[in-house]
Amino acid sequence: MSTEVRDSPDELRYELLVDGRLAGFAQYRLSEDRITMFHTEVEPEYEGRGLGQELARAALNDVRRRGVGLVPVCPFIAAYVRRHPDDYLGLVVPGMREKVMEGAERTPSFIPSLPGGQLGGAASDFVIVQWSDSGDSEWEWIAPLHVHHADDEAWYVLEGVLRFRIGDEEFEAGPGGAVLAPKGIAHSYGNARRGQIARYLLVMTPKIRALVEALHEPGANDYAAIFRAHDSELLS
């Protein structure tokens, strides 16, 4: 899979391409001394792969190149800045920096669209995301066999069919099916139908959400260590 992020000034957006296809974008408004980023979106079939973070990182690096101030009114971009303040907080216009960092303590009670975002945050008991898989991956499992020592995890299938291994059980779940992986139980899951999209809700703790984000950080390669740092263990 090859990825590219490019600026499309005619559309006033940064575009994320995967194998030459438009997979997401980050829209902006540009003035003489600042750029306002107000909406980021990743197509459903590309969610859950860390591509939104790749898009945000490339867009912010280009903002630095432009030498203009950043106004991150897009919640996704603002959250990315909060997670990487040493790299990007200095880009934010001075009067907005404190507000961006304070946003880490406030969790919205409502979001207009779950795909590409999340409900809940670091201070919540749980986080809900809507992800999808196109069925075109060469990997058998979306997540390899692993265990969370202190955190439950659950799925609700919206479209397509997911396959699960929970402990010694292996089974499939279609639309309307719900699956729980209790803490301390080894599990993995994947798309059960090659070439067919699967869409699902994933309910997890903030610790598991942080694990997923760490696994998709640039340069991440010692996956076993990343799992251990989040009270989990990679088993395969």
Place 117 in a pLDDT band, splitting at 50, 70 and 90.
confident
**Residue 114 domain flag:** no
Q: How many residues does the chain have?
A: 236
Band (7; pLDDT cuts 50, 70, 90) = very high
Indicate whether 149 and 214 sit together in one domain: yes
Indicate the number of domains in the chain.
Answer: 2
Domain around 65: 3-105
Same domain as 146, residue 82: no
Q: Quick one: 228 and 132 in the same domain?
A: yes
Does 39 score more than 70 pLDDT?
A: yes
Same domain, 87 and 137: no
Q: Where are any strands of DSSP class E within the chain?
A: 3-8, 13-18, 21-30, 34-42, 69-72, 127-133, 143-148, 153-159, 162-166, 169-173, 178-181, 187-191, 198-204, 232-234
Q: What is the pLDDT of residue 58?
A: 97
Q: Same structural domain for residues 91 and 152?
A: no
Q: Evaluate whether residue 22 is within a structural domain.
A: yes
Q: What is the rounded CA–CA span in Å between residue 36 and residue 157? A: 36
Q: Say if 179 falls within a structural domain.
A: yes
Q: pLDDT digit string (tens) for 94-107?
A: 989 988 887 655 67
Average pLDDT in the 192-203 region? 96
- The verdict on 134 and 198 lying in the same domain is yes
Please check whether residue 50 lies inside any domain of the structure. yes
Q: Is residue 121 part of a domain?
A: no
Q: Are residues 43 and 87 in the same domain?
A: yes
Mean pLDDT over residues 24-42, rounded? Answer: 92
CA-wise closest residue to 200 among 123, 138, 134, 124: 134
Residue 10 in domain: yes
Q: Are residues 97 and 51 in the same domain?
A: yes
Position 26 scores a pLDDT of: 94
User: Are residues 66 and 13 located together in one domain of the fold?
Assistant: yes
- Ramachandran category for residue 79: left, alpha or beta (phi over 0 → left; psi -120 to 50 → alpha): alpha
132/48 same-domain check = no
Q: What is the CATH number of the domain that holds 35?
A: 3.40.630.30
Same domain, 100 and 196: no
- My answer on whether 23 and 64 are in the same domain is yes
Is 117 within the bounds of a domain?
no
174: domain CATH number?
2.60.120.10
